Amino acid sequence: MNIKFHAMFLAAAFSLAACMPAPAAASQTTNTYTPTTYSPARANPAPAATATAQLRVIDWELEIVAQNLEVPWSIAFTGAERLLVAERAGRIRAVVEGSLRDEPLFTFSDIAVVEESGLMGLALDPDYGSNRNIYACYTYSGSSGLVNRVTRLRDLGERIEMDAVIIDNIPSAKYHAGCRLGFGPDGKLYVTTGDALQPQAAQETASLAGKILRLNLDGSIPADNPYPASPVYSFGHRNPQGITWNVEEGIFYASEHGPSGFDGPEGGDEVNLIQAGANYGWPLVSHDETRTGTQSSLRQFTPAIAPAAILFYPGDELPMFTGKLLLGALRGEGLAALTLAPEDPAQVTNIEWLVQGLGRVREVTVGPDGLVYFSTSNRDGRGSARAGDDKIYRIVPVYE
């Protein structure tokens, strides 16, 4: 596949992570490359909307959406011409019509940026169009140490203001801090939490560490949660940092970091199918170990790839990805596509590495244009920063 790199510029419309190999057992196609020169315009622009139905997508290429970011952890689109970026240092910045605004819209003044902790998850309210609400998860220093807090903010266009605390005192630490946010097809807010270097806490349903939480938008507990009066939706997690849904089928997937040597044999990163009340085994089992009462992963990765984000791609703008899970890898330094069996969404039949050579991939999401966006995390202290890092890329179709 020939992959061309183009800097993205707009006229009338918004045009828009140590490297480890993928497991040898997986069939894969790897494209490794290093970007050098960027064209000032798209070499293969998308045709007019009226013509796309008559054309065929035969390939894809990459565009740079934004650069010179500092560890962009989450991306949230507020419209076709504007996206918000959460930088781990505590800033929420805007990319408007292809231009990264210099001044942040909001900065968390009490943030604690220690190793992996800081500003992490960012998600828009399902009714953002009418209420302009945004949800964010960040780390601060509480009376007993580092903790995570989920807040609701209000987007006022040229600035963002704090509105409310949704949930507080989620155990955190300099490692295994969580904290991905996402809204399920049920309209509920889901929050991933790491074990905060307390592995056994992941098995304690009274603790918020090592869990996936489910909340109403005001922070109250949904009446149909699996544990009465508890935000806990699933448990036995080490450090889940990616969540996504096949909305049509109502299937919930998550990606999770496996042990790092000090807490178990290295590797064992997971992709899981999440079910209410289920136990995903940590620290009782890892890798391909099984135990009665715990859920096995759909796929585990040894050597580790450190999956930081996951996306079920539902669109047809990039038909080669339709119905696949796209996985952003930090240690694996790339973007992978996992093919699911048509008759069994719990079976991964193939792994293909789509992108390698750009460094640590932190976030992967889909934009309002139906295309795939991902960010690098090369300035997080564990990667090798390249010129212009960190960046946000967009995968665009090439038409015949």
Digit-by-digit pLDDT tens for the chain (400 residues) are 434 333 333 333 333 333 333 333 333 333 433 332 223 333 344 555 555 567 899 999 999 999 999 999 999 999 999 999 999 999 999 999 999 999 999 999 999 999 999 999 999 999 999 999 999 999 999 998 999 999 999 999 999 999 999 999 999 999 999 999 999 999 999 999 999 999 999 999 999 999 999 999 999 999 999 999 999 999 999 999 999 999 999 999 999 999 999 999 999 999 999 999 999 999 999 999 999 999 999 999 999 999 999 999 999 999 999 999 999 999 999 999 999 998 898 899 999 999 999 999 999 999 999 999 999 999 999 999 999 999 999 999 999 9
Domains in the chain, start-ordered, CATH in brackets?
5-37+54-399 (2.120.10.30)
Structure tokens given for 335: 């973007």
User: What does 40-84 look like in DSSP terms, one character per residue?
Assistant: SS-SSPPPPHHHHTTS-EEEEEEEEEE-S-S-EEEEEEEETTEEE
pLDDT, position 1: 43
Is beta strand 91-96 parallel, antiparallel or unpaired with respect to 99-100? antiparallel
Q: Which residue type sits at 381?
A: G
pLDDT, position 49: 53
Q: How far is 145 from 158, CA to CA, in rounded Å?
A: 34
Structure tokens given for 308: 């930081």
Element (H, E) at 52: helix 49-52
Residue reference for tokens 């894809």: 60
Q: How far is 54 from 306, CA to CA, in rounded Å?
A: 40
